[in-house]
Amino acid sequence: MPKRRLETARKGKASELQVAAELLRCGYDAFLPFVDAGIDLVARVNGRFVSIQVKKSRFYPNQGVYWQQIRKKPFDRNKGEDVFYVFVLRRGTEINYLIVPSLWIEKHADEFYFDAKNEKWFFYFKLEDERALEVRKSQLDMTPFLNRWVILKSVGIVGNMVEAKLVNLGYRKIRGNKWIKEDRVVHLVHSSEFGRNYIRIMWREEWKDDHAIVYDYSNGGGPVCIVPVSDLFVSDFVKEKRRKVSYANSGYYWSQKFPVDHELVKLVLNFKGQWDIL
């Protein structure tokens, strides 16, 4: 083997062992496959096995970025709800990790720089002020994945950034879009109906004693609003609606597009980005 390839192989194996050590520190079992089939490590997390592809990133000090690439064919072959990419970001003696679900990468594939001729995605990761950004093209915020090994518990979560944030905050998904942390129950509502003139808001009567509703309007270019259930249910509109026959006839569930000047819209938007509520 040529000397340069040998050195690259050594560094790659060292990164795999570093990741394995981190997994063990987190209390997860780590296994090394005998055959390289596109998966570098297997971890047992909460009784389930997840596959991990380790990618050592090259640091460019002049630009202050970490460079990385992913080949499309092996990515398509191995991607899945239990497959994660761990990008090792080393600068001198400082090491950080991005633990990213493969389905999140797939979901945002069109936003990354893609070399169509060689069928590769290229990434520049930038760390600043305790944040992680992909700056080659997408400008995506990857902070929820920075050194957050708990994300490996999110098996079955389809790579949504808001869901990753909930996992990072210690919540676990129990069914549908219902999340729980100790005695706190949170409901996640995704909606792309966020426009200049209207916003869709929905709730269910069975949520009245729960902690919060997370309205995720990111697919419509809007914010994420974390609304305490108690605040929503004491609003004049919701109190009035709960008394009407139409509410009972709807199965004690309501979903409606509200004009932007409506009191309920103002209430929801007042809780934009207030993750501390959780």
pLDDT digits (tens, 9 = 90+) for 16-51: 999 999 999 999 999 999 877 789 999 998 888 999
Report the chain's C-alpha Rg in angstroms: 22
Whether 257 shows a pLDDT value over 70: the answer reads: yes
How many CB atoms sit inside 10 A of residue 218's CB? 15
* Residue 4: per-residue pLDDT: 64
Span 122-134, mean pLDDT?
94
- CB-based burial label for 6 (10 Å; 0-12, 13-18, 19+): exposed
Query: What's the 3-state SS for the chain?
Result: CCHHHHHHHHHHHHHHHHHHHHHHHCCCEEECCCCCCCCCEEEEECCEEEEEEEEEEEEECCCCEEEEEEEHHHHHHHCCCCEEEEEEEEECCEEEEEEEEHHHHHHCHHHCEEECCCCEEEEEEEEECCEEEECCCCCEECHHHECCHHHHHCCCCCCCHHHHHHHHCCCEEEECCEEEECCEEEEEEECCCECCCEEEEEEEHHHCCCCEEEEECHHHCCCEEEEEHHHHHCCHHHHHHHCCHHHHHCCCEEEEEEECCCHHHHHHHCCECCHHHC
Q: Which amino acid is at 233?
A: F
36 vs 276, which has greater pLDDT? 276
Asked if the model's pLDDT at residue 158 lies above 70, the reply is no
The topology (CATH level 3) of 3-153 is Trna Endonuclease; Chain: A, domain 1 (3.40.1350)
Is the CA virtual torsion 66, 85, 98, 28 positive or negative?
Answer: negative
Per residue in 202-243, pLDDT tens?
A: 999 999 999 999 999 987 888 999 999 999 999 999 999 999
**Tokens read off for 95:** 């090491």
The model's confidence at residue 155, banded by pLDDT at 50, 70 and 90, is low
Per-residue pLDDT at 194 exceeds 80: yes
Tokens of 75: 């990515």
Contact 132, 148 (CB under 8 A): no
**65-118 confidence digits (pLDDT tens):** 999 999 999 999 999 888 999 999 999 999 999 999 998 899 899 999 999 999
Q: What is the pLDDT of residues 56-66, one digit of tens each?
A: 999 999 999 99
Q: Where are the domains of the chain?
A: 3-153, 169-277
Which residues, in sequence order, are bridge partners of residue 190? Answer: 216
Q: Select the more confidently predicted residue: 5 or 185.
A: 185
pLDDT at residue 172, rounded to an integer? 86
pTM > 0.85: no
Q: How many CB atoms lie within 10 A of CB 46?
A: 10
Q: Is residue 7 over pLDDT 50?
A: yes
